[in-house]
C-alpha cells in the first residue's frame, strides 16, 4: 500500500492530466497529417480498345501481342488514407486501367501499312488519386493487311513405341487448317504442326492437341490465328512382324536341250505391321507359279507386287522392298559318258563270284556347268543280288547321281555269276 500511495496516488491529478493531454496531442497530430499527400507507384497492364474499325478495311494490329504485354508505370498521389487503402486493396488498384483507343486513329494514317504509329496511352482511375506521371506516354502500333492461308496439318510424334511396335500415318480431321493474320506473319508460316507422344505405346493413341504455326526454321510464329484451335489426332500403333515368302514354283519345262538350274527370290521375308490378331492369322506368302518357262533359253527375271499378296489391314513397313524379284537360272544341257570300275559296285545280297564287264559306262545329262564340274567319285553304283539263285544272271545296276544330273539313257546292265 505504501508503494501505491508513494508512486501512484501522489500527485495523481497532475499525472491524470498528463495522460489526457498526451491522448489529445496524438489525435491532434493525426488530424494534422491525415490530409498530407503521399505517393504510390503502380504497374498497370495495357489494354487495346477500338480496333474493330480495321476489320472492315481488312487490316489488323500486327504487334497486338507486344502491345497487350506492355505494362504502364503510373505514379499517383493522394491523401494518406487513400494511399494506404491503395496499397492494401487490390480491388482499388484494379480500377486503374491503361489503354490505347485505336478508334481515335484516322484510317488515312492507319493505311500506312507496316509503319510504327505512335499512339497515346490513356488512363482511367478513381477520382481521389492524381496522376503524377505515367510511362510510357505512347506506344507504337503496327497495322498490316489481313490475309488468310490454308495450310496442310503436319503431325509429329515424340517418344518411342514399345519394342516390336511402330506408329502408322496419323489420322486427323480436318487435314487442313486456316491461318489468318497480318500478311507479313502469315507469309512466314511454313507449316502448322501438332505433336503427339507415343512413348511406350502398344495401341492407338488419341489426343486433343493445339496446332502451332512454325516458320521455315521451326520457330513458332506468334500473332496469327489458327482455325480450328483444337484438333483430335489419332496415331495408330501396330505390331511389327516378318512373314515368310515361300519359294515360287514354276509350270512346264524349258525348251529341249535346256534345264532350270535354280530359282532365287528376294526378299524372303515381308516386313509388315498390323494388329496382333491379324498378324497371327496371316499364313506364309505363296506366290503364283512362274509362267513362260517353256520359252526360256537363258537366265530370266520375274517380279511380284508384295502388296497383292497382303490383306488390306496389313501394311508393309516403311523402307521395305515392295517388289519381290525372282531370278530364274537356265542353262543348256550337255551329256557325258563316264567310266566307273566294276569293283566300285556295291552289291546288296550275295557277292557274285564273277561279273562283267569290269568297266561300267554311265551316260549322264545335266546343265553344262554341272557336267563340266562333275566329280566321278560322287557317282555310286548299286546292284541287288539278294534274291538271285546260283548261276549266271543279267541285272540292272542302280546309279546314284549328284543333284541336277540324271541318266541320259537306260541304266547300265552287268552279268553276274552267283556261286
In this prediction, residues 159-172 reach a mean pLDDT of 83
In this prediction, residues 35-50 reach a mean pLDDT of 86
Residue, of 32 and 382, whose pLDDT is higher? 382
Task: Please state whether beta strands 138-158 and 191-197 pair in parallel, antiparallel, or not at all (unpaired).
Answer: parallel
Identify the residue whose cell numbers are 549328284.
Answer: 402
**CA angle, 205 as apex, 203 and 206 as ends, to 5°?**
140
User: Which segment, 48-62, 134-148, 164-178, 261-275, is predicted with the most confidence on average?
Assistant: 261-275
Is the domain of 219 the same as that of 185? yes
In this prediction, residues 223-227 reach a mean pLDDT of 90
398 vs 384: CA distance, rounded Å: 8
Specify the number of domains making up the chain.
Answer: 5
Q: Could you count the other beta carbons within 10 Å of the beta carbon of residue 393?
A: 15
129 vs 71: CA distance, rounded Å: 19
CATH of the domain at 408: 2.170.120.30
Residue, of 177 and 35, whose pLDDT is higher? 177
Is the C-alpha dihedral spanning 67, 70, 73, 74 positive or negative?
positive
pLDDT tens by residue, 326-355: 999 999 999 999 999 988 889 998 888 888
Whether omega for the bond prior to residue 174 falls within 30 degrees of 0, making it cis, is yes
User: For residues 223 and 185, is the Cβ–Cβ distance under 8 A?
Assistant: yes
Is the domain of 139 the same as that of 220? no
240 vs 245: CA distance, rounded Å: 16
| pLDDT score of 32 | 47
Task: Name the helix (H) or strand (E) containing 99.
Answer: strand 97-101
* pTM of the model as a whole: 0.53
Range of the domain at 387: 333-418
Q: Which of 332, 363, 397 is the last residue of a domain?
A: 332
> What would the grid cell of residue 398 be?
542302280
Is the domain of 80 the same as that of 130? yes
pLDDT tens by residue, 196-217: 999 999 888 988 999 999 999 9
The one-character DSSP state at 353 is S
**SS3 assignment, position 325:** strand
> What would the grid cell of residue 413 be?
546292265
| pLDDT score of 266 | 95
| pLDDT score of 299 | 93
**SS3 assignment, position 177:** strand
CA atoms within 13 A on the CB side of 65: 8
For residue 60, what pLDDT band results from cuts at 50, 70 and 90? Answer: confident
> What would the grid cell of residue 45 be?
497492364
168 vs 356: CA distance, rounded Å: 75
Is the pLDDT confidence value at 228 over 70?
yes
End-to-end CA distance of the chain: 162
- Indicate the average pLDDT of the chain: 85
Contacts of 216 (CB under 8 A, 6+ apart): 188, 190
Q: Which of 164, 97, 163 is nearest to 129 (CA)?
A: 97
Beta strands in 280-344 (DSSP E): 300-305, 315-316, 323-341
Contacts of 8 (CB under 8 A, 6+ apart): none
For residue 116, what pLDDT band results from cuts at 50, 70 and 90? Answer: confident
| pLDDT score of 21 | 60
pLDDT tens by residue, 404-414: 899 988 899 98
Is the domain of 277 the same as that of 352? no
Is the domain of 59 the same as that of 118? yes
> What would the grid cell of residue 3 be?
508503494
Is the domain of 92 the same as that of 115? yes
CATH of the domain at 222: 2.170.120.40
Is the domain of 327 the same as that of 339? no
User: For residues 194 and 156, is the Cβ–Cβ distance under 8 A?
Assistant: yes
123 vs 44: CA distance, rounded Å: 9
173 vs 157: CA distance, rounded Å: 17
Is the C-alpha dihedral spanning 171, 173, 175, 181 positive or negative?
negative
Q: Could you count the other beta carbons within 10 Å of the beta carbon of residue 327?
A: 13
DSSP bridge pairs for 177: 151
Is the domain of 60 the same as that of 90? yes
Q: Which of 332, 347, 382 is the last residue of a domain?
A: 332
Is the pLDDT confidence value at 242 over 70?
yes
Is the domain of 176 the same as that of 113? no
Is the domain of 120 the same as that of 44? yes
Whole-angstrom CA distances from 219 to 131, 176, 216, 251, 332 are 42, 20, 7, 61, 67
Is the domain of 46 the same as that of 136? yes
pLDDT tens by residue, 66-105: 888 999 999 999 998 888 898 889 999 999 999 988 887 7
Residue, of 118 and 392, whose pLDDT is higher? 392
Q: Which of 298, 332, 366 is the last residue of a domain?
A: 332
Is the domain of 137 the same as that of 48? yes
User: For residues 310 and 279, is the Cβ–Cβ distance under 8 A?
Assistant: no
In this prediction, residues 109-138 reach a mean pLDDT of 80
Task: Please state whether beta strands 405-407 and 359-367 pair in parallel, antiparallel, or not at all (unpaired).
Answer: antiparallel
| pLDDT score of 288 | 94
167 vs 202: CA distance, rounded Å: 9
pLDDT tens by residue, 12-28: 566 566 665 665 555 55
Amino acid at each position: 500500500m505504501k508503494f501505491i500511495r508513494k508512486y501512484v496516488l501522489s500527485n495523481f491529478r497532475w499525472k491524470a492530466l498528463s495522460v489526457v493531454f498526451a491522448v489529445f496531442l496524438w489525435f491532434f497530430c493525426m488530424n494534422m497529417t491525415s490530409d498530407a499527400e503521399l505517393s504510390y507507384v503502380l504497374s498497370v497492364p495495357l489494354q487495346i480498345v477500338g480496333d474493330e474499325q480495321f476489320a472492315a478495311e481488312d487490316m489488323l494490329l500486327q504487334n497486338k501481342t507486344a502491345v497487350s504485354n506492355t505494362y504502364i508505370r503510373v505514379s499517383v498521389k493522394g491523401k494518406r488514407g487513400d494511399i494506404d487503402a491503395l496499397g492494401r486493396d487490390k480491388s482499388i488498384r484494379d480500377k486503374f486501367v491503361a489503354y490505347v483507343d485505336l478508334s481515335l486513329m484516322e484510317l488515312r494514317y492507319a493505311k500506312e501499312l507496316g509503319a510504327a504509329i505512335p499512339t497515346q496511352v490513356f488512363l482511367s482511375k478513381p477520382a481521389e488519386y492524381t496522376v503524377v506521371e505515367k510511362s510510357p506516354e505512347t506506344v507504337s502500333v503496327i497495322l498490316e493487311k489481313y490475309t488468310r492461308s490454308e495450310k496442310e496439318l503436319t503431325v509429329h510424334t515424340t517418344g518411342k513405341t514399345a519394342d516390336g511396335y511402330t506408329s502408322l500415318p496419323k489420322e486427323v480431321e480436318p487435314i487442313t487448317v486456316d491461318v489468318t493474320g497480318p500478311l507479313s506473319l502469315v507469309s512466314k508460316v511454313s507449316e502448322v504442326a501438332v505433336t503427339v507422344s507415343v512413348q511406350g505405346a502398344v495401341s492407338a493413341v488419341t489426343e486433343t492437341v493445339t496446332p502451332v504455326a512454325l516458320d521455315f526454321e521451326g520457330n513458332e510464329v506468334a500473332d496469327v490465328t489458327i482455325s480450328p484451335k483444337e484438333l483430335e489426332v489419332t496415331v495408330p500403333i501396330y505390331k511389327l512382324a516378318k512373314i515368310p515368302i515361300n519359294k515360287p514354283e514354276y509350270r512346264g519345262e524349258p525348251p529341249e536341250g535346256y534345264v532350270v538350274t535354280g530359282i532365287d527370290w528376294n526378299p524372303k521375308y515381308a516386313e509388315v505391321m498390323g494388329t496382333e490378331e491379324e498378324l497371327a492369322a496371316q499364313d506364309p506368302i505363296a506366290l503364283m507359279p512362274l509362267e513362260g518357262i517353256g520359252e526360256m533359253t537363258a537366265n530370266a527375271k520375274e517380279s511380284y507386287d508384295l502388296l497383292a499378296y497382303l490383306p488390306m489391314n496389313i501394311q508393309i513397313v516403311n523402307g521395305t522392298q515392295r517388289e519381290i524379284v525372282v531370278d530364274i537360272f537356265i542353262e543348256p544341257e550337255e551329256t557325258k559318258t563316264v567310266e566307273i570300275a566294276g569293283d566300285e559296285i556295291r552289291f546288296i545280297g550275295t557277292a557274285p563270284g564273277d561279273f562283267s564287264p569290269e568297266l561300267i559306262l554311265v551316260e549322264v545329262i545335266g546343265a553344262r556347268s554341272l557336267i563340266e564340274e562333275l566329280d566321278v567319285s560322287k557317282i555310286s553304283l548299286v546292284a541287288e543280288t539278294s534274291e538271285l539263285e546260283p548261276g549266271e544272271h543279267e541285272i540292272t545296276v542302280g546309279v546314284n547321281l549328284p543333284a541336277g544330273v540324271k541318266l541320259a539313257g537306260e541304266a547300265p546292265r552287268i552279268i553276274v555269276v552267283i556261286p
